[in-house]
Homo-oligomer: A and B are copies of this chain.
């Protein structure tokens, strides 16, 4: 009687009403009902993006929206600053390279975040940089970047701040309007509790102005077309109707909870998980950890790939392993989306038993107790 539990940083579990909503007969994407659906979804996304700017959507993975941010905002030969602290920072640079945009990288060791001071210094020496490309949560390492501080730097310059919030939207705080972020891209299968296949972008006024000057080629990922049609509840190309229906269910939940509460819930789950990992006696990998997921550095004697495989096959518990250079060296546990304290307890207790099973010396219950402590503190003090 195995039960499956998904703790990967996307896809994340889908609420049951959203799952069932997808089992309805499909509708035409140009019907009045779908027009109303699209308008409703785009309006509710503003709440999650914490913005009054319009949000547009594409039928693609998050990477499609990332590519769109490059091709819709920039011109061939532009110079841009890219924060590279992991796989997804590297992705910004790869996309820019593809389109002949000159990348000024700021590199740090995987597991560290790029400090706002380094960005400020780079921008001072490169004042003509058209944009700074950053990552809210670098999913490959679990590191959070200080977007508020970065926006404080860029908003007084002509340089745009473009943020990959693919994994962290709805989990880590990102106040687009209040902080002064120019572009946020994200997607459906993370904090938004919807299956993968939809991507989103929100643009500030000055980012929209940049799209008018951009000379890079784009067609399917054209932001202006998607934006214009979206305002009418329409689309340039047949959208993933089924996923829009699931998204509406998920957004209703977030709007009911309120995005500020949603972020607080994630913060609590993250603190509980980190407290548990410390109690178990393993080091956290990220120097400035995100609410989205917790990365755990495994002792050298543990083969991380085998551990992750064993947990899934034997126990139905799916964690994520390390990517790229971190393959086999870290385990990543997401606490993201349709999750609460009970899910965190399942993730931690299974982690304890799994460690014991492979012969690692762990005190059963130590992590769970440490997590409980955080959850209980909230009840008592907030």
From B24, B25, B217, give the contact of A217 (CB < 8 A). Answer: B217
From B61, B218, B236, give the contact of A238 (CB < 8 A). Answer: B61
Contacting pair B19 A219 (CB below 8 A): no
| Interface class of chain A by DSSP | loop
Contacting pair A220 B63 (CB below 8 A): yes
Known: A64-B60, A220-B63, A221-B220. A243 touches B28 (CB 8 A): no
CB distance from A205 to the nearest CB of B (A): 26
Q: With an 8 A cutoff between CB atoms, is A89 at the interface?
A: no
* A8 cross-chain contacts in B, Cβ below 8 A: 28
* A238 cross-chain contacts in B, Cβ below 8 A: 10-11, 61-62, 187, 189, 196
Q: In the docked arrangement, what's the CA distance between A239 and B25, Å?
A: 22
Size bin of chain A's contact surface:
35 or more
Contacting pair B28 A24 (CB below 8 A): no
Q: With an 8 A cutoff between CB atoms, is A230 at the interface?
A: no
* A318 cross-chain contacts in B, Cβ below 8 A: 27-28, 31
From B61, B94, B219, B220, give the contact of A237 (CB < 8 A). Answer: B61
* A63 cross-chain contacts in B, Cβ below 8 A: 219-220, 236-237
Q: With an 8 A cutoff between CB atoms, is A4 at the interface?
A: yes
Interface residues of A in 10-42 (CB under 8 A from B): 10-14, 19-20, 22-29, 31
Contacting pair B19 A59 (CB below 8 A): no
CB distance from A304 to the nearest CB of B (A): 14
Contacting pair A240 B24 (CB below 8 A): no
Flag A202-223 by CB within 8 Å of B: 1 or 0 each. Answer: 0000000000000011111100
23 A–B contacts from the bound complex (CB under 8 Å): A19-B22, A23-B23, A26-B195, A29-B196, A31-B318, A59-B59, A59-B61, A59-B64, A59-B197, A61-B220, A61-B237, A61-B238, A62-B238, A63-B219, A63-B236, A64-B220, A67-B220, A195-B240, A195-B241, A196-B240, A197-B240, A197-B242, A242-B243
